[in-house]
């Protein structure tokens, strides 16, 4: 383990304090997916340029590819090198066991998402599993996020239109959110107000009035998943209402791929892909991250102790 238990607990306590500050001061953490080291460098450079605190996150696919401990070490190394405020979120952890592994590895934020792995999971199963993770998280002080339903879409470039009639059936409700938060003891509620994973041919539409109702109904942190492809004014409004965490993935992946394709096309004689990635890809992803940080009102909010 790259950190002592004392260090892990101190980091988690600091992360919790900063989330409280974000809500009070009306700004939000961007939670950006870490696909590889160049993506992490792009996030760090953006955070440095904007003097903004950030979360980097990995889902089970990245965990299987990179490894929990390796992610922890990569983030700690880059955080120290660039002098930025950065925390790790384990995103959409599919089981109690996987979430516990993230807690024990020193991740400051844990998203347990039983319905992602099992779309037919019952309310009782989701609540029971989430409570187990919340209980174990007390060991380090990690912040736990969850939701009582399957969250639609996928972190990809979609070609189909958004079926808002179908999506509205999965929207969070103030009553349901309150019941779930009280039943599980989670720190962060992942709201569904028109946001969904992936990027679509048309911009997403968020129900800000519903978000206001959710904010009044629950006292914990509220997050928005599926931020890619969302017009920036929705983020500005959501942060004012009290959202303190927004997940971004697809916008970064699309920028990464387009930049890499361009680099390969324009440099057919260059076989050092590392050079091409550093020159073309990292700046493209960094630009996406910087743009989101502006929308989240977190520029100038970094605190390096």
Given 35, 36, 76, 91, the catalytic residue: 91
Instruction: DSSP letter for 52, please.
Output: -
Query: What's residue 201's pLDDT?
Result: 59
Cβ proximity of 195 and 152 under 8 Å: no
Three-class DSSP category at 134: helix
In degrees, rounded to 5, the angle at the alpha carbon of residue 220 between the alpha carbons of residues 222 and 215 is: 60
Query: What's residue 149's pLDDT?
Result: 76
Domain harbouring 136, CATH code: 3.20.20.70
Domain contains 303: no
**Whole-number Å distance between alpha carbons of 117 and 99:** 13
Contacts 24+ apart (CB under 8 A), 100-103: 100/133, 100/136, 101/68, 102/63, 102/68, 102/142, 103/133, 103/136, 103/137, 103/139, 103/140, 103/142
Question: CB neighbours (10 Å) of residue 124?
Answer: 9
**Whole-number Å distance between alpha carbons of 234 and 289:** 17
91 is catalytic: yes
Query: What's residue 159's pLDDT?
Result: 64
Cβ proximity of 130 and 98 under 8 Å: no
Domain contains 305: no
Domain contains 162: yes
Q: Which domain holds residue 94?
A: 5-295
Domain contains 262: yes
**Whole-number Å distance between alpha carbons of 303 and 52:** 8
Domain contains 197: yes
Domain contains 301: no
Domain contains 166: yes
**Whole-number Å distance between alpha carbons of 51 and 1:** 29
Tell me the pLDDT of the chain averaged across its residues: 92
Query: What's residue 154's pLDDT?
Result: 56
Query: What's residue 195's pLDDT?
Result: 79
**Whole-number Å distance between alpha carbons of 192 and 187:** 16
Segments of the chain scoring below 70 in pLDDT: 1, 150-160, 162-163, 197-202
Query: What's residue 156's pLDDT?
Result: 63
- Tally the domains of the chain: 1
pTM, rounded to two decimals: 0.93
- Per residue in 238-249, pLDDT tens? 999 999 999 999
Query: What's residue 165's pLDDT?
Result: 72
Cβ proximity of 56 and 40 under 8 Å: yes
């Amino acid at each position: 383990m790259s950190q002592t238990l004392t260090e892990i607990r101190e980091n988690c306590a600091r992360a919790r304090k900063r989330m409280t500050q974000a809500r009070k001061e009306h700004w939000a953490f961007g939670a950006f997916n870490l696909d590889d080291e160049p993506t992490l460098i792009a996030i760090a450079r953006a955070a440095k340029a904007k003097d903004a605190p950030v979360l980097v996150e990995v889902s089970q696919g990245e965990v299987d590819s990179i490894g929990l401990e390796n992610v922890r070490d990569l983030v700690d190394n880059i955080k120290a090198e660039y002098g930025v405020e950065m925390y790790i979120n384990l995103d959409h952890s599919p089981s109690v066991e996987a979430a516990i592994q993230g807690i024990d590895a020193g991740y400051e934020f844990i998203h347990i998402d039983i319905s992602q792995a099992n779309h037919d999971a019952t309310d009782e199963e989701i609540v029971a599993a989430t409570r187990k993770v919340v209980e174990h998280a007390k060991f380090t002080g990690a912040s736990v996020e969850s939701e009582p339903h399957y969250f639609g879409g996928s972190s990809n470039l979609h070609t189909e239109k958004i079926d808002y009639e179908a999506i509205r059936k999965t929207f969070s409700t103030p009553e349901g959110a309150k019941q779930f938060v009280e039943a599980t003891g989670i720190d962060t509620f992942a709201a569904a107000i028109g946001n969904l994973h992936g990027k679509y041919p048309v911009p997403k539409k968020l129900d800000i009035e519903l978000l206001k109702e959710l904010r009044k109904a629950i006292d914990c942190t509220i997050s928005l998943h599926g931020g890619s492809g969302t017009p920036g004014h929705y983020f500005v409004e959501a942060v004012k209402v009290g959202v303190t965490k927004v997940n971004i993935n697809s916008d970064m992946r699309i920028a990464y791929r387009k930049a890499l394709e361009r680099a390969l096309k324009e440099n057919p004689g260059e076989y050092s892909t590392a050079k091409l990635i550093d020159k073309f890809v990292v700046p493209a992803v960094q630009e996406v991250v910087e743009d989101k940080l502006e929308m989240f009102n977190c520029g100038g909010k970094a605190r390096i102790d």
